[in-house]
Amino acid sequence: MTRQEFLSHWRAECERLQRLGALVDPTKLLDDVLADAEALFRSEERAVLTLTEAAQESGYSAGHLGRLVRSGMILNVGRPNAPKIRRADLPRKATRLRRTGTPANLVGATPGQIARAVVTSKPGDAR
């Protein structure tokens, strides 16, 4: 599941519940939203990146990451002459922010905050 699929699914679910005038148990709804968010985060961490893509995300050069792979400090999940790195295995420079495709309006919001906003919103509220 991608971030866009996650958002599309929960927006559609919200519209469906509004159409039905459904009264839902907020804890069950939050459990579903958080389970999907956790699955999304796990899939993003398992994503396999080329050295160039890994360099853009980590802040280290592709050459440095290649040396770390060759030395065994980072696991190579690609081929010997075409190394790839799992996103979860990337080292991160402390001075560099992680680049993500997250829209600016979600920066700083936790999955729990997003789920609470969905549960407590009223029909017709702007999103």
The yes-or-no verdict on residue 102 having pLDDT over 60 is: no
**Contact of 96 with 61, CB cutoff 8 Å:** no
Q: What mean pLDDT is predicted for residues 21-38?
A: 92
User: Using CA of residue 109, residue 114, residue 120, residue 121, what is the dihedral sign?
Assistant: positive
- The whole-model pTM stands at 0.55
The two structure tokens encoding residue 94: 């402390």
User: Residue 16 — very low, low, confident or very high, per pLDDT cuts 50/70/90?
Assistant: very high
| C-alpha span between 33 and 9 (Å, rounded) | 10
| C-alpha span between 1 and 34 (Å, rounded) | 13
